[in-house]
Amino acid sequence: MNEGASAEPSKSGRWQGRGLAALAGAAAALSMPPFGLWPVLFPAMAVVCGLVALAPDRRSAAWLAWFAGAGWFAVAMHWIVQPFFVDPVRHGWMAPFAIVLLSGGLALFWALSGWIAARLCVPGAGRALAFAGLLTLAEAARGSVFSGLPWALPGHGLIGTEALALSTLGGALGLTLLVMVPAALAVWLYLSRRRILSALPLVAAVAICLVPWAGSAPAPLAPLVRIIQINAPQHLKWEPEMIPVFFDRGLSLTAADGTPDLVVWPETSLPTLLRSSDEARARIAEAARGAEVLIGGQRYAGLEPRNMLAHLDAEGAVVQVYDKHHLVPFGEYMPLRGLADDLGLAGLAQQLSGGYRPGAGPALMDMGALGRAFPMICYEAIFPRYLRQVERPDWMVQVTNDAWFGSFAMPYQHLALARLRAAEQGLPLLRSANTGISAVIDARGQVLASLTMDVDGVIDVPLPAALPPTTYARFGDLPALILAIFVTCAGIALHRRHSSH
């Protein structure tokens, strides 16, 4: 087909195109953990770009992009149904609605990209390139609007490759451009009747992902850190008779052989509210044998319930507390709280009446000789912007409870995003997860040690050292956003060039 040519499809042809778009989006999502089929990402996204590029009008382009996005999110984030099966009698009926609403809602960002690309460019290669830039900008917006959900960006499919090291330049949006631009260039070559060459951008992108870009990690520091993984299944975690069982397990892991300087417990591991935890903290201090402890728990700040991380000294006294500030909607709190209370609705993960309230915001924890830590609770680690709101720390720590989401996909994706945070910032990250995957990640984003899913155990590793601030640490998403705008403008210029001939 010639550049700029497009025929009005029949009704059956429209649905065939939409089905192909959904299939391509779903295939591209196989790049995400636990599948890890990242080479599929490039040709699949080329198909999506090609379909949008040849759509006859704005509405058709938007629908094709929406179906591609719906396929992508339905596969990449299928784990969203898992929390509803922790208590299937009460919540199981909600699962189909959750996956449909989530995948369909997030796909609207893709649809908007397709619509704008078709608004700016006639069918052809210029539109493909404009769509690549616009989709990257839309994914940036998705990470911010409505509290933000920067999960399952196309670039996240490359975290398991050598291209992870390039996140030091442009973060997740830079990796997304690394996916979308070669896909659009392949479409350009194909539509320009250079079909033999159309595979070259995709081959080049694959090659980039195979080149070892990362340098060597700095030598570890002297302090020894211990990460414990308690492995409390979610359906048992808050049963009254099981709470002491899991707490005793945590104490045994804390007291394992060795002399760590710091012990990190998972999210909500403290068996009582912080204000009534004197006995529990004394037992933790006894088990830690002089080590300091970071432990997740719950507390009231005045009348407000909080999901928090407490720093305990060698005697078990509370040195400082960090309150989670970015809560999970529908999990830790219900939007429109007043209406939700009237209807008797509660967040799936909330344990205190009325749901959690957010803390003051990002903060640092002064760990004395251990340096300054940047604490993150659960999915706060998927937001890169919060680190830029504080002074640069020496290391990061994430405590989480991924037991809500099963053992198949979400914990592996969550670990991958933690690796991305470490690599793009050049900072090590300590990760304690209730049922897994607990890990120690160095400043290049490489996992130095980890525990598998659904086991209890400990990791003892010297505290990794930080690298100098990366380009991403200094400028954030700005370079990638500028490049995405440039790619969009290049697509418009290409469209105008062909339109004038």
What is the spatial distance between Cα 172 and Cα 174, in angstroms, rounded to a whole number?
Answer: 5
Identified catalytic residue from 237, 378, 380, 424: 378
**Rounded to whole angstroms, how far apart are CA atoms 418 and 100?**
27
CA distance between the termini of the chain: 17
Please report the DSSP string for 176-233 in residue order. Answer: HHHHHHHHHHHHHHHHTT-GGGTTHHHHHHHHHTTS----PPPPP-S-EEEEEE----
Instruction: Give the tokens for residue 159.
Output: 């975290």
Q: In the structure encoding, which two tokens stand for residue 116, read together?
A: 């704008």
- From 3, 267, 292, 332, the catalytic residue: 267
Query: What is the distance between the alpha carbons of residues 437 and 434, in angstroms, rounded to a whole number?
Result: 8
Candidate list 49, 209, 324, 332, residue with the active-site label? 324
φ, ψ for residue 424, nearest 5 deg: -70, -25
Q: Residue 378 catalytic?
A: yes
- Given a contact cutoff of 8 angstroms between Cβ atoms, the answer to whether 155 and 80 are in contact is no
Give dist(CA 355, CA 348) in Å, integer: 9
10 Å Cβ neighbour count for 162?
15
Distance CA 107, CA 109 (A): 5
Neighbours of 207 (CB within 10 A): 10
SS3 343: helix
Six-digit token pair at 478? Answer: 């700005």
Q: Which residues are catalytic?
A: 267, 324, 378
